[in-house]
């Protein structure tokens, strides 16, 4: 079966801000929103990959996403990037809190410093990015905030206790934002990717044993690709999902 994906007219010209939009699922998000005609800005620390992506998208679509180099652990810099996006492209109508780092860590080895650093990447920026975009979304009369969770903490993935804590917290943030901002027409949802075949996953963890785990546990054959996850985020950003709010949307191919 060939697959065809939708174009959502409501995203044409909408300003979208993505964290970690330079590689992995984030690169697919940047591509997918650009293909919708959205005005896309993204932050990332992977400067070479991000600049390559921007050039590729411009060549393919004629639209050039705005890449702002930024380490999201630096909250003033992150909020500054959102202000820069507003000045360059207009008020942000869609925030995609995607960036994360799932490096493995053993319980015994986690120091206070390591804990704080992981939370500073995987949890804290979601809140402060939302804080910065909300006044812009209020001016627009609404918006969509998409936080990235993970199946890892539900599946019981080993050796990720701090990452798992942060990813579980994304669900709580989503529900809380949705409650507080619903009156302003601002929606918040969590996208929950399954095991997605990004370059990083393939390089580090999709070993022959990992492939066996997927074959044994995933209901659909094949592999979840970054573009499958991006398609869900695009839907949640568009007006087509107008009454989807405070929920979790799992894209894992079905999993035991
Ligand atoms: N790939 C999977 O199988 C999977 C599974 C479950 C959940 N997720 C979630 O999906 C999202 C994307 O995952 P991914 O697999 O594409 O991750 P990835 O590690 O491949 O990409 C993350 C991106 O964020 C950027 N980034 C990392 N630290 C940063 C920082 N401090 N400042 C700015 N940018 C930074 C990286 O450079 C990279 O471009 C994450 O929230 C992750 O938790 C992924």
Q: Is residue 208 part of a domain?
A: yes
The residues near 13 (Cβ < 8 Å, ≥ 6 apart) are: 37, 38, 39
What pLDDT, on the 0 to 100 scale, is given for residue 124? 98
What total number of domains does the chain contain?
1
Instruction: Give the Cα-Cα-Cα angle 48, 53, 57 (nearest 5 degrees).
Output: 155
What pLDDT, on the 0 to 100 scale, is given for residue 91? 99
Q: Is residue 187 part of a domain?
A: yes
Between 3 and 54, name the one with better pLDDT: 54
Catalytic residue among 33, 163, 235, 249: 163
Asked if pLDDT for residue 112 goes beyond 70, the answer is yes
- Ligand 1 atom 6 nearest Cα: 150
Domain that holds residue 41: 10-251
Distance of CA 146 from the midpoint of ligand 1 (Å): 14
For 7-34, what is the mean pLDDT?
98
Asked if pLDDT for residue 167 goes beyond 90, the answer is yes
What pLDDT, on the 0 to 100 scale, is given for residue 1? 56
Distance, in Å, from the CA atom of 196 to the CA atom of 248, rounded to the nearest integer, reads 17
Q: Are 21 and 42 in contact (CB under 8 A)?
A: yes
CB of 23 closer than 6 A to ligand 1? Answer: yes
Q: What is the pLDDT of residues 62-74, one digit of tens each?
A: 999 999 999 999 9
Q: Is residue 1 part of a domain?
A: no
Distance, in Å, from the CA atom of 245 to the CA atom of 185, rounded to the nearest integer, reads 10
- 235 three-state secondary structure: helix
């Amino acid at each position: 079966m060939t697959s065809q994906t939708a174009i959502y007219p409501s995203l044409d010209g909408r300003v979208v801000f993505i964290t970690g939009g330079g590689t992995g699922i984030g690169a697919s998000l940047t591509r997918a929103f650009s293909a919708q005609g959205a005005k896309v800005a993204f932050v990332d620390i992977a400067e070479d990959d991000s600049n390559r992506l921007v050039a590729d998208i411009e060549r393919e679509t004629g639209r050039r996403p705005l890449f702002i180099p930024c380490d999201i652990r630096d909250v003033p810099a992150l909020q500054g990037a959102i202000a820069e996006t507003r000045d360059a492209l207009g008020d942000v109508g869609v925030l995609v809190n995607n960036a994360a780092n799932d490096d493995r860590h053993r319980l015994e080895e986690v120091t206070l410093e390591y804990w704080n650093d992981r939370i500073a990447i995987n949890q804290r920026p979601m809140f402060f990015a939302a804080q910065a975009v909300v006044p812009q979304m209020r001016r627009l009369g609404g918006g969509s905030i998409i936080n990235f969770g993970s199946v890892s903490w539900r599946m019981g993935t080993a050796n990720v206790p701090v990452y798992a804590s942060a990813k579980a917290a994304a669900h709580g943030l989503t529900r809380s934002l949705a409650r507080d901002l619903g009156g302003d027409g601002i929606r918040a949802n969590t996208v929950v990717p399954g095991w997605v075949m990004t370059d990083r996953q393939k390089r580090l963890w999709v070993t022959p044993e990992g492939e066996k785990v997927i074959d044994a546990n995933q209901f659909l054959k094949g592999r979840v690709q970054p573009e499958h996850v991006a398609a869900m985020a695009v839907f949640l950003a568009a007006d087509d999902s107008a009454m989807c709010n405070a929920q979790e949307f799992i894209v894992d191919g079905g999993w035991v």
